[in-house]
Structure 1
């Protein structure tokens, strides 16, 4: 899997690009495009307490099993995918949302090309 991030670092250019999204009506699935054979992302909010990142996955692409130190809310914006949380499989499609609990193994794989929104909520009491 090739990973292509449009805005992973905190350079001034990317931060200004996120600022331009504020106070506007947005269609989230239009803010990240597909790229053949890869996963693309675009961070649209990043704060000390959390972030919102949009992803697009080409068919058969995915994220291998991993954990995160805080809860993550995933909403499918377009297409279909399979999600695994601690060994349990979930079929997801546009409009579905699932919460990945902190420190629990999870993974996902594209059934079709799909886009998702990932909202990470940091537990600042344990930072």
Structure 2
């Protein structure tokens, strides 16, 4: 049984090649989703954004290509390819594409008893 979907198993690949930037869009591809964790690839065209929201889980981004602007609890951070930032659970955050960019989003959700 495989818990990761939409990606070829047992193949050496680049995550950035698994999703394409499309004009005027944000494209997403879910790789895993359950009560504990979510893994999603995103591709943003320049100028596209995910407006301010909060998550029940800690959200960690790994930028794969380009540059993203992450506003976390009112503080602005810029991340480029190879950089990571954590958006803590419950804190309002937003994502804006300064340039075309791709990212892997990992969200770790609280479990009962935590």
| TM-score, normalised with respect to structure 2 | 0.90
- Contact 1:21–1:44 at 8 Å: present in 2 too? no
| Corresponding position of 2:70 | 83
1:49-100 CA deviation, whole Å, 9 max, x = no partner? 1111000000000110000011011010000111100000111100110011
Query: CA RMSD, aligned part only?
Result: 2.1
**CA spacing shift, 1:41–1:20, aligned 2, 3 Å:** closer
| Corresponding position of 1:125 | 112
| TM-score, normalised with respect to structure 1 | 0.81
Q: Which runs of 5+ in 2 are unaligned?
A: none
| Corresponding position of 2:39 | 52
Richer in helix (by share): 1
* Moved beyond 3 Å, runs of 4+: none
Aligned residues, how many? Answer: 113
